[in-house]
Amino acid sequence: MIERLRLDHAAAVLAFERENRAYFAAAVPDRGDDYFAGFPRRHRALLAEQAAGVCHFHVVLGDNGEVLGRVNLVEVADGGAELGFRIAARAAGQGLATAAVRQLCALAARDYGLESLRASAAVDNLGSQAVLRRTGFEPTGEQVLLAGRPGLRYLLRLADPVPMDGR
C-alpha cells in the first residue's frame, strides 16, 4: 500500500497534489503556487533529503498504482520524527489514512530505527485527530498554531503496540 518516494513517482504525485489542492487547503495550509511551478526541482530536493536520512517520504498507492495519499516522516533526529499525512478526497473516509499511518509506524520502528513519532492536527480537523488516536498517538496537551489555526500535538512511543482494532 505505501512505497518509499522515488524519482519516477514525480508525475503521479504532482497530479495527486493538483487534483486535491482545494480539498487539502480546507484542512491544512496550502502549498502555494511556487510549489507547483517548481515541482520537479522540489521533488528532487525531497529525494536528496531522504537519501541524507533526515526525512522519509512515502506515497500511498491504490489498486491501479495511482497515488491516493502521502505519509511522511520529517525532522528525523534523536530517535524521533514528525509524521504528516494526506489522503485524496476521493479516498477519504475509507480507512486508508489509518492503514497507511499504521504501516509507516511499523517501518519507522523496524526500518528507520525510530523510537517515537510526533504529529499535529488542527482542532477542527477531526478526521486527522481520529487517525492519530486509532494508531496509538496520545495527545500531549500542547497546543500549537498550524498556519494560524489552533492545533493539538500528539506523541507515539514506538515501543508501544500500535492498535489494530480501529479504536
Q: Give me the tens of pLDDT residue by residue for the chain, a chain 167 residues long.
A: 899 999 999 999 999 999 999 998 887 777 888 999 999 999 999 999 999 999 999 999 999 889 999 999 999 999 999 999 999 999 999 999 999 999 999 999 999 999 999 999 999 889 999 999 999 999 999 999 887 889 999 999 997 555 665 54
Q: Could you give the angle at the alpha carbon of 150 between the alpha carbons of 107 and 133, nearest 5°?
A: 35
Helix (H, G, I), strand (E, B) or coil at 1: coil
**Rounded Cα distance, 122 and 148, in Å:** 10
Contacts for 54 with CB less than 8 Å, ≥ 6 apart: 74, 75, 76, 77
Q: Check if the beta carbon of residue 114 is closer than 8 Å to that of residue 76.
A: yes
For the chain, domain boundaries? 2-157
Read off the pTM: 0.90
The x, y and z cell numbers of residue 164, run together, are 489494530
CATH number of 2-157: 3.40.630.30
Q: Which amino acid is at 115?
A: E
